[in-house]
Amino acid sequence: MTSKHIHVLLYILATSLVLALIAGFTLTRPYVYHAAVINPPLPVTDFTLQTANNESFRLSDARGKIVLLFFGYTNCPDVCPTTLATFKQVYEKLGNNAQKVRFVMVTADPERDTPEKVAAYAALFNPEFIGLSGNLTDLEPIWKELGVFVEKQDSNSAAGYLVSHTASVYVIDQSGNLLMTFAYGTNALDMADDLTQLLKQSH
């Protein structure tokens, strides 16, 4: 074997080693969540709110599933329909795993949003989505615990007043703990990837 052949062989071996190291690093690199992770997770006080047909939803009934929770209202001109449209895409991207997730909208406008109205609004995006309402006595402790900002604002729009509210999506794990939050505008693929990773870890 000539000196030239030896150099070529060494080059091939060195290149193969570098590629193997890169592949190994990629496979062992810990997953980085797109959401803001809360560590340690915070237990969420159980609550019960109303949905359509005089039915109720209790947070503890969703134990064993991940809950995606956001606060909005049916007259919302931008944030809420955008978030629900993203939820719809996330549901589709999760495939069979979507059955392990509950997609929930809680009203920030109980004065106008009856349980039936919120439920129908959420169902426009996906019949599996859960829309919830209640009176202020029911809602305010939930808003306070999760740090949700809600404030009515006068408007000259046909919809009447607007409601300024926190636009984040809260991720509650299978044990009922607040695990992470998605900032408004997080795309569906990133959300689906994070949820898929969480479901993998739960096995």
The tens digit of pLDDT for each residue in 107-162 reads 999 999 999 999 999 999 999 999 999 999 999 999 999 999 999 988 777 668 99
19 confidence band (pLDDT: 50, 70, 90): low
pLDDT in tens, 116-131: 999 999 999 999 999 9
Please state whether beta strands 101-107 and 66-72 pair in parallel, antiparallel, or not at all (unpaired).
Answer: parallel
Cα dihedral sign for 127, 183, 181, 36? positive
CATH class of 36-201: alpha beta
pLDDT in tens, 87-113: 999 999 999 999 999 999 999 999 999
Ranges of each domain in the chain? 1-30, 36-201
Whether 106 and 49 have beta carbons less than 8 Å apart is answered as yes
Provide the pLDDT for residue 8.
53
| pLDDT above 70 coverage of the chain, percent | 84
What span, in angstroms and rounded, lies between the C-alpha atoms of 163 and 77? 10
Amino acid identity of residue 49, one-letter, is L
Q: How many whole angstroms separate alpha carbon 185 and alpha carbon 193?
A: 15
Tell me what pLDDT residue 142 has: 97
Q: How far is CA 152 from CA 75, 146, 161, 163, in A?
A: 12, 19, 7, 4
pLDDT of residue 150: 96
Contact 147, 166 (CB under 8 A): yes
The answer to pTM > 0.85 is no
Write out pLDDT tens, residues 25-48: 545 688 899 999 999 999 999 999
Instruction: Annotate 147-183 with b (16+ C-beta within 10 A) or e (fewer).
Output: ebebeeeeeeeeeeebbebbbbbbbbbbebebbbbbe
